Amino acid sequence: MSLKRIALLALVVVLLAACGGAKTEAPAAAPETAAPAASDQIIVGLITKTETNPFFVKMKEGAQAEADKLGVKLLTGAGAKDGDNEGQVTALENMINAGAKGILITPSDTKAIVPSIEKARAQGVVVIALDTATDPQEAVDALFATDNFKAGLLIGQWAKSAMGDKAPVIATLDLQPGITVGAQRHNGFLQGFGVISGADPNSSDLVNADVVVCSQDTHGDQTEGQTAMENCLSKNPDINLVYTINEPAAFGAYTALKNAGKEKDVLIVSVDGGCKGVQGVVDGQIAATSQQYPLKMAELGVKAIVDYIKGGAKPSGYTDTGVTLITDMAQAGVDGQNSAYGVANCWGTK
């Protein structure tokens, strides 16, 4: 009996060892070296936070279109869910092993991914962060992203003007603690609204003000957004301005307000500008949103990597991929576009 087990174990070991032996026959394929892949095919990797979020689907479309245009191969991967750092690490390792020379990544955990990115760069792989900066930002070669602080600032300024003389009672439906994007949008909003000043645009800590009577985490999820809004309303029924981390959270908040019969008295502002989100502006559920352009981020990212591999300059620094305020209630002194523009340009579709 025991002999049989040992034989089985040995088989597994032999299998692994045999494969290890196979490696020496193809030393050129070793991933540790920055030498070009066995075939001259250029491979670019794209790692998003999740597979399913429409934002990342759009990003993937942009990357794929650009890769097809440039004739390079695109590998994609994602974490199991938002916040799954290990899943992204695994995808990163696999792509490098597959011969990718450049990786685009939207870090799920801005700090946790850093050591793995450093390892990748040490192997000669160029890494560009999309949408979300790593912490520190210099951990990657370049960042192609929305200025999330500015995105918050825009809706803050707009809301200030739209509220006029009304005393603000604010609820913020945030992302989750410790994530830079969430803090940037939140802090930008409050600064634009004029209740805080001099906030660090790169901080991952939420700043709060007295007029904010309720802050809840929603993980950017519609159902959680609704629950959060319900809780906020029971805490303070006089809320008249709601900041939301993204449009799903905004829709959740709208449902809660509508159920409470308050949807006419409350302004909801948000960030993203997704096609469905902008439709919310058209329908009057969301008063204003800051539109960002994931398709463009991915497009630019793929191009920058391919250019570099073909002998161009190494991508570096921060590239603002732009943000536009979308609202049908334009306020003097706040630049923006109407919802028709928003629909036409949602997340960068042409």
Partner 1 sequence: MSAVVSTVTKRRSSLLSIVRGSPVMGPLAALILACIFFSFKTDRFLTGANLSLILQQVMVVGTLAIGQTLVILTSGIDLSNGSVMALGGVVMTSLAVDHGLNPVLAILLGILVCILFGVMNGALVTGIRLPAFIVTLGTLNIAYALTRIYTTETISGLPSLLLFFGNTFKIGTTQITYGSVLMLVLYAITWFVLRSTPAGRSVYAVGDNPEAARLAGINTTRVLIGVYTTAALTYGIAALLLVARTGVGDPQAGQTSNLESITAVVLGGTSLFGGRGTIIGTLIGALIVGVFRNGLQLMGVESIYQVLITGILVIAAVSIDQLSHRK
Binding site for partner 1 (CB under 8 A): 1-2, 4-5, 8-9, 11-12, 15-16, 19-24, 26-27, 29-32, 38, 51-52, 73-78, 80-81, 83-86, 89-91, 93-95, 97-99, 108-116, 135, 177-178
Burial class (CB in 10 A: 0-12, 13-18, 19+), 208: middle
C-alpha–C-alpha distance, residues 251 and 231, integer Å: 15
Between 7 and 313, name the residue whose CB sits nearer to partner 1: 7
Q: Which of 155, 92, 97, 192 is nearest to 286 (CA)?
A: 155
- Give the single-character DSSP code of 337: B
Between 2 and 197, name the residue whose CB sits nearer to partner 1: 2
Between 73 and 262, name the residue whose CB sits nearer to partner 1: 73
Residue 179 beta carbon to partner 1: minimum distance, rounded to whole angstroms: 9
Between 16 and 344, name the residue whose CB sits nearer to partner 1: 16
The answer for residues whose C-beta is within 8 angstroms of residue 43's C-beta and 6 or more apart is 37, 72, 73, 74, 75, 95, 98, 99, 100, 101
Residue 94 beta carbon to partner 1: minimum distance, rounded to whole angstroms: 4
C-alpha–C-alpha distance, residues 16 and 225, integer Å: 48
Residue 184 beta carbon to partner 1: minimum distance, rounded to whole angstroms: 16
Residue 60 beta carbon to partner 1: minimum distance, rounded to whole angstroms: 8
Q: Is 325 left (phi over 0), alpha (psi -120 to 50) or beta?
A: beta
| Number of Cα atoms under 13 Å in the Cβ half of residue 39 | 7
Residue 43 beta carbon to partner 1: minimum distance, rounded to whole angstroms: 8
Amino acid identity of residue 118, one-letter, is E
Residue 51 beta carbon to partner 1: minimum distance, rounded to whole angstroms: 4
Between 108 and 291, name the residue whose CB sits nearer to partner 1: 108
C-alpha–C-alpha distance, residues 238 and 240, integer Å: 6
Residue 122 beta carbon to partner 1: minimum distance, rounded to whole angstroms: 12
Between 176 and 337, name the residue whose CB sits nearer to partner 1: 176
Q: Which of 60, 88, 89, 58 is nearest to 75 (CA)?
A: 60
Between 56 and 158, name the residue whose CB sits nearer to partner 1: 56
Give the start-end residues of each E strand in the chain: 43-48, 73-78, 102-105, 126-130, 142-145, 170-174, 212-217, 241-244, 267-272, 288-291, 317-320, 324-327
